[in-house]
């Protein structure tokens, strides 16, 4: 594992903990870690992933739109933070399509 990638996810966690509820922190770090692991398994670096890579990764997180939206929202937050923190200059999430979750049917 690239130490800078592990360090990045840990630093993201520390930053989130200042502003977000513990469950939100766990959720976003979970998906950032899964993306990091996916990148490593595909011999890629987090900072070299493309929108196409993220789209491919999203197909691995689950079949339900709510799950994919949750994962996409988490990695969007991760890459926004990474750009602001100076870890990368490229945010592949900028062109990642928004995922809409169908409304439930009333009972």
pLDDT in single tens digits along all 107 residues of the chain:
445 888 999 999 999 999 999 999 999 999 999 999 999 999 999 999 999 999 999 999 999 999 999 999 999 999 999 999 999 999 999 999 999 988 876 66
> Which alpha helices (H) appear in the chain, and where do they start and end?
3-19, 22-41, 51-58, 65-84
- pTM confidence score: 0.91
pLDDT at 1: 45
pLDDT at 106: 65
User: Which 8-state DSSP code applies to residue 59?
Assistant: T
Burial of 8 (0-12, 13-18, 19+ CB in 10 A): buried
Q: Give CA separation, 28 vs 9, 88, 104, 105, in Å.
A: 10, 19, 24, 28
Place of tokens 């079949």: 63
């Amino acid at each position: 594992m690239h130490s800078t990638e592990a360090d990045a996810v840990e630093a993201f966690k520390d930053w989130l903990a200042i502003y977000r509820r513990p469950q939100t922190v766990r959720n976003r770090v979970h998906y950032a870690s899964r993306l990091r692991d996916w990148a490593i398994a595909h011999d890629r670096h987090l900072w070299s992933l493309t929108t196409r890579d993220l789209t491919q990764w999203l197909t691995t997180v689950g079949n339900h739109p709510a799950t994919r939206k949750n994962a996409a929202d988490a990695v969007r937050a991760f890459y926004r933070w990474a750009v602001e923190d100076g870890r990368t200059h490229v945010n592949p999430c900028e062109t990642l399509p928004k995922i809409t979750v169908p409304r439930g049917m009333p009972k």
